[in-house]
Structure 1
Amino acid sequence: MTTQQEQAVFTTADAVVRELVRAGVGIAFGIVSIHNMPIYDAILREGSIHLVCARGESGAVNMADGYARATGKLGVVITSTGTGAGNAAGSLVEAWAAGVPLLHVTGEVASPYLGTGRGYIHEMKDQLAMMEGCCKRAYRLTRPDQAAAVTRKAIGEALSAPSGPVTLEIPIDYQSAIIPDSRVEQMSVPVSVQDKALPKLPAGLLDRIAAAKRPVIWAGGGVISAGASAEIKQLAETLGAAVITSQSGKGSIPEDHPQCIGHFAAMELTKQLLQKSDLLISVGVRFRGNETSNWKVTVPEMHVSIDADWHAVNRNYGAAYGLVGDAKEILQAVLQSLEAYSLKPDAAYLAEVKAVRDELRAHLRATLGPYEQMLDGMRSVLPRNAILVRDVTVQANVWGSRLFDIYEPRTSIHASGGGIGQGLPTAIGAQAGDRDRVVVLMAGDGGFMVNVGEMAAAVQENLPIIVVLFDDAGYGVLRNIQEAAYGRQVAVDLLSPDFVKLSEAMGFDAVRIGSPEAFVAELKKAVAARRPSMIVVDMNAVGPMAKPFGGPPGAAESFKPKKLS
């Protein structure tokens, strides 16, 4: 029991926890350690933050990441020092690639031993540099009595656009240091919503937008971060524009909308549509290499780039206008200004856009073979607002990320950085953020084994995630790329465990199926059960796709021997 004397003591750890509570944090993920115990104890004493115990630091970061993506709130993860922080690094790279607002609190060795190389437990050469390399920003607390200010600064940095993961490392001796219970307040004059003016647009911009005959909108993850999905849909309908989405931008506009091309930017038909376009408005798009055939997709000269990041302007594609700021506010200003133009979308162009949309989907569907029935079954069984999490695997890449329609923001989560194995803990975090939604993970057997231990965390938290595991006893994507590039395969065959027995031992309901019909029936049962569940898809029994997936366009060709120019 806490004594009155203990209650009167205020420590650095208490200051950190108070700032988390002030920021609205109600859940944190992590692993307790000798280098973060004071923070864990402060969370226990404060009492309002629920702690989710991961089985590894990598998974803990993914959980906080999934939570943030599904809810739009700050994700918080607490790890140990040295090896613990190193285990977190790869998953922090994923959060950085996806622009996820995440606070990573980690310990450090005792302050007298920092940088000495004397072998203090969990010591590493330069932890802060490692964290800086995988985060938006990394801070080290250098004075215990500055804990509140530095924590608030780190939280603000994580949340401010462009958002991203921020590490705060605190030497272990500082965490339990008694400090003054002082208050830190940022003084500013509040601006009412009514008084807030919309951004002023550059002269001539609206005339050029209104004059476009073949407009295209490219919607990225920045649309979802800014909460600008309604504005994207309204702008598309006002201009009569085709809408391409990046992988991160899925859900920016309902994917059953007739103007939504979707996540097909690198496909030939989409390339041709862009080549004939006279206006591109990109919003919060990174233009990643694997989504543009390594920037071989061409865009029109009249390119209006809207992004919260100054570095995004002209980074991958030139822009006639670079509008830096809040996407929602900028789009509202554009929409308000366009009211004076009385625009009428071109019916012939809209018909062309829909034809491209339909042909892209029909072409990809023709490659699926028996998995087409599984795709349609998933979409018919799952609620419109179900959250689909995708690890890197063949079926997720081919149809999970393209043909499975997403209707709402924050219901599509994928590995932006391309790392395998992060899907399970990410799905756990997403489900922890909204226990009432259906959360489904698409994963392959190879990637799933990377963080398989986190199944125990899902059961301990009683989270009813549904894992759809595509088991082909290997790294299927790499098999196909190697076969196309070299005509042979190496290091891609894996010995799978009995996933049903493994799942049941962990506390999951589990079943193995060998046909699309059985899959749909078992998915219905899993959705109704609201328990941690796994459906193992025996891909040998189901059969091959009609056309093997060879990776992103041009992937195999890029690995063949060639002379560098």
Structure 2
Amino acid sequence: MSELPTEPVPLTGGEAVVRALAAHGVTQAFGIPGTHNLEIYRHLAAYGVAHVTPRHEQGAGYAADAYARVSGRPGVAITTTGPALLNIAAAVGQAYSDSVPLLVVSPGMPLRHPRQPTGLLHEMRSQTEALRGVAAFSHRVSAVEEIAAALARAFTLFTTGRPRPVHIEIPLDLLEAAEPVGRVRIAPQAGPALPAPAELRRAADALRAASRPALVLGGGAREAAAELLALAEELAAPVVTTANGKGIVDESHPLSLGVSLHSPAVQKWLADRDVVLAVGTELAESDLWSAPPELSGTLVRVDVDPAQMYAEVPADVALVGDARQSLRELLAAYRSRGPLGGGAGRQGTAEPRVAREGETRAVPPRAAELRLVRDTGPGDGDARAEALASAREAVTELRLARDAHAEALAGAHRGVAGLRRERDAETRDRDARWLPYLAAIRATLDTDAVITSDSAQCCYYGAIPHLPVAPDGRYLHPTGFGTLGYALPAAIGAKTAAPDRQVIALSGDGGLQFSVQDLATAAQLQLPLPVVVFDNGGYGEIRDEMTARGDAPAAVDLAPVDLPALARAYGGHGEHATTPEALAAALARALTTPGPTVITVPEETAR
């Protein structure tokens, strides 16, 4: 990689961009070169930045988005001016909705370009205004020296607040102009944000007093998986997640309700909880598929974004901070104050009570009592007798606490199992068609596989609630903004980030054709990439909505396309699978075959 200068040296704007990216640890970019961004591309290799070229800028944005979600580092996309930048806008909107650190770098019209149109190639009135509507901020630099500061501002946002997409525009003449620039500006290292101590104490007290606690986890909780599992088990609290939180707690765990916020049975149960701990989630309509819940109990929110504390579902107790560190502090506060199990009592003691089915009561052993037993030693007369009596009392308390906690967990497990049955019964007729195929997919994949999905019925009705994921795996879905065409380019980005992990894309035939051209990208990269497509002959969700309204379906039935043949035409592979067994066999082959493999499951077969 080229040396990063410390003294002022003349650099073009294009080199200044790449130098700043490299200084922030960027080693991978996605995008399409164009007439106006060639000076950026000229320097990528010299600074050690690899590049993937999707076949459309929207695909570049989705690939960079998934790269960020899987790698934990910001995704970088490079476009040219005008239509290219507008092409990536949908992906920027999706990254904003899902809190993904996505950086888009583009050229712009020259510094002194007239306000009146001149007919310059790719000219538009304002690129920054266009992107400002979907990004956290869109900034146009005015000097080569400013480029490093603008990019440092972007990386600061990615690491110190709620990560969201940023657009940086470099005027055309600055990209090519060489100006003296000094030491590269770097985003400052910052420790995790911590909640106010008083709020932590309030949250710990609320959890100590809870008899019916619940955990709701969103994508912002992902880095706190271990802490959340420990807290759930200590509280004997059931866990439900959003689509972005899928798999933070193993969905096969007996306390996990998986992605079930859309279920009327689960919404009714949640409304009856006396304490709800919501971590890294908006509790929004896109999570519940309905209006936000009306909770009867105390809502404790943990979020790095202060605005969530007074959003549509306002917090009763607000823990503003990094999820992982906040949960560590909350666990420490909870344990130090000693769980009371919902009733009043003296500090450090508990009066165990057996939980009713569907209710929870967590009373784990306390460290102070363990130390008391350990430290009871030989003594004389009354002192030794008193010490032994205290030790016996402590052991009795420990046994009662252990038994009460075990009973609480058993009650919570029974309650979760019952809720799962209610949830599945609500949609059994609709969802049954996908279940055998999803089971075949799950049985074929490694536990740490990455699954990308589209806004398709087979994904939001099928895989999201019914395909279990564990913390070492990932499920990437375009929630909120709800774009189509996400799955395939996102799978390319995920595979670029994690080449040694299995990656699979799930889509419908309508959604796939929004980005089907990226089969060529996967073929060129020779990525072993299965693309499983449930083919219902068009836009099935909209067709069903029209029918439900009493309308005759219009413009939703698409002419059939031989998608496996199309994959072969792009240089990949293709198969039709008409049974779950055939899908499992085709998927196993695709996972070890270089290049993409499209595997279609005809929807009439799946019904």
TM norm. shorter chain > 0.5: yes
C-alpha distance in 1 between matches for 2:180 and 2:283: 48
C-alpha distance in 1 between matches for 2:267 and 2:134: 33
Q: Which residues of structure 1 form unaligned runs of 5+?
A: 3-7, 545-565
Would you say 1:220 and 2:218 are equivalent positions? yes
Which of 203, 206, 209 is the matching residue for 1:208?
Answer: 206
Q: Which residue does the alignment assign to 1:405?
A: 468
C-alpha distance in 2 between matches for 1:359 and 1:366: 13
Would you say 1:75 and 2:75 are equivalent positions? yes
Deviation at 1:445, TM superposition (A): 0.9
In the TM superposition, 1:236-385 aligns within 5 A as 236-340=232-336, 341-342=338-339, 343-344=362-363, 345=405, 346=408, 347-361=410-424, 364-365=427-428, 367-385=430-448
Give me the TM-score of the superposition, normalised by structure 2. 0.83
The change in CA–CA distance for 1:246 and 1:370 in structure 2 (over 3 A counts) is closer
The change in CA–CA distance for 1:102 and 1:35 in structure 2 (over 3 A counts) is same
The change in CA–CA distance for 1:59 and 1:190 in structure 2 (over 3 A counts) is closer
Which of 536, 545, 549 is the matching residue for 1:485?
Answer: 549
The change in CA–CA distance for 1:461 and 1:355 in structure 2 (over 3 A counts) is same
Q: Which residue does the alignment assign to 1:538?
A: 602
Deviation at 1:146, TM superposition (A): 1.7
Deviation at 1:116, TM superposition (A): 3.4
The change in CA–CA distance for 1:519 and 1:189 in structure 2 (over 3 A counts) is closer
C-alpha distance in 2 between matches for 1:185 and 1:61: 25
SS of structure 2 residue aligned to 1:237: helix
Which of 510, 515, 539 is the matching residue for 1:451?
Answer: 515
Deviation at 1:361, TM superposition (A): 3.8
The change in CA–CA distance for 1:187 and 1:449 in structure 2 (over 3 A counts) is closer
Q: Deviations over 1:389-431 (max 9, x none)?
A: 1101111111211110010266110012111112211111111
Q: Which residue does the alignment assign to 2:504?
A: 440
C-alpha distance in 1 between matches for 2:535 and 2:208: 51
Q: Deviations over 1:268-301 (max 9, x none)?
A: 2102211221000101101221332432532233
The change in CA–CA distance for 1:117 and 1:481 in structure 2 (over 3 A counts) is same
C-alpha distance in 2 between matches for 1:393 and 1:385: 23
Would you say 1:396 and 2:396 are equivalent positions? no
In the TM superposition, 1:75-224 aligns within 5 A as 75-113=75-113, 115-185=115-185, 200-202=197-199, 203-224=201-222
Deviation at 1:365, TM superposition (A): 4.9
SS of structure 1 residue aligned to 2:239: strand
The change in CA–CA distance for 1:80 and 1:231 in structure 2 (over 3 A counts) is same
SS of structure 1 residue aligned to 2:515: helix
- Give 1 or 2 for the bigger CA radius of gyration: 2
Aligned 8 A contact 2:564 2:597 in 1: no
Deviation at 1:70, TM superposition (A): 1.4
In the TM superposition, 1:47-62 aligns within 5 A as 48-62=48-62
The change in CA–CA distance for 1:398 and 1:205 in structure 2 (over 3 A counts) is closer
Aligned 8 A contact 1:26 1:49 in 2: yes
Aligned 8 A contact 2:136 2:166 in 1: yes
Would you say 1:514 and 2:581 are equivalent positions? no
**Greater mean deviation of Cα atoms: 431-440 or 479-488:** 479-488
In the TM superposition, 1:542-561 aligns within 5 A as 542-544=605-607
Q: Which residue does the alignment assign to 1:28?
A: 29
Root mean square deviation, CA, Å? 2.2
The change in CA–CA distance for 1:54 and 1:187 in structure 2 (over 3 A counts) is closer
C-alpha distance in 1 between matches for 2:576 and 2:188: 59
Deviation at 1:159, TM superposition (A): 3.7
C-alpha distance in 2 between matches for 1:543 and 1:459: 28
Aligned residues, how many? 531
Q: Which amino acid aligns with 2:42?
A: D
C-alpha distance in 2 between matches for 1:74 and 1:394: 30
Aligned 8 A contact 2:255 2:412 in 1: no
C-alpha distance in 1 between matches for 2:557 and 2:483: 18
Deviation at 1:188, TM superposition (A): 7.2
SS of structure 1 residue aligned to 2:554: coil
Q: Deviations over 1:339-368 (max 9, x none)?
A: 131542424344212321344246545543
The change in CA–CA distance for 1:114 and 1:97 in structure 2 (over 3 A counts) is farther
**Greater mean deviation of Cα atoms: 309-318 or 383-392:** 309-318
C-alpha distance in 2 between matches for 1:290 and 1:259: 23
C-alpha distance in 2 between matches for 1:298 and 1:435: 44
Percent identity, aligned pairs only?
30
Q: Which amino acid aligns with 1:302?
A: T
C-alpha distance in 2 between matches for 1:189 and 1:418: 33
